[in-house]
Structures are given as structure tokens and as C-alpha cells.
Structure 1
Amino acid sequence: LLQGLDVRLREETQMPAHRAESPLTCVAVGSGRSLEEFEAIHRSNKNKQRNHNSRRRTR
């Protein structure tokens, strides 16, 4: 992993960031959660795209 990435992210974004004890486990768990929420994420992205396209047409 990249040394000091958590510090850099925290400084650049002014948001909390920390290194996980087990990064690979975090990736696996996060990926699993994303798959569980895939439909909601997909709907959200479709709505964002639809809103973006409708704004472009009204200009």
C-alpha cells in the first residue's frame, strides 16, 4: 500500500481518513455491499443522467 496516503487524503480533502487494519478485507466487504445495493446505485445513476440530459436540452 501507499505509505502516508491516509494523511495526504485527510490534508487534501479536510475529511477524516484512516488506514484499515486489513485493506483486502475492506475491499471485499465494500464490494459485497456495493453488489447488495447495486439496484439502488443503478437507479441513482440513471436519475442523475436523466437530470443532466434534461438540463442540457433546456439550454
Structure 2
Amino acid sequence: MDSPWLTVDEAATRSRRHNKTVLRALRRGELRGHQARANGRWLIHVEDLDLWVRGERPTGRTKVAS
């Protein structure tokens, strides 16, 4: 079974956006993502990516390690 979690590059490919666009959306809080530690790799759940592509806002805050 495939994981429901995507890296930035995978999310960019799936959404047909540039990876810098995905990163910008994560940093602005437009796209919900998770990091295990500060400056760590982002992981994005496919459902959150689909919401972002449809133009819907996330309901929770983006979790970033401090």
C-alpha cells in the first residue's frame, strides 16, 4: 500500500506545480504540512494537498518543530 504522505517533490508532481510553489504555500500556511524537526523535510498528506489544489484553506495549523 502506498503511503498517504508526500514529499515536496512528490506533491509538486501530483499537483502539477513547481516545488518552490509548494514550499512557499507551506511557509505561508496555505498548505498544511509537517516537519519532524526545524529545517527538516516537509511531509504533506494527500488530503491536504487536494484541499490546496481545490483552493480550500486548511482547518488546522501547520506543524513545525521548534
Answer yes or no: same fold by TM over 0.5: no
More strand by share: 2
User: Which structure's CA Rg is the greater one?
Assistant: 1
Normalising by the residue count of structure 1, what TM-score does the alignment of the two structures yield? 0.22
Structure with more of its chain in helix, by fraction: 1
Q: TM-score, normalised by structure 2?
A: 0.21
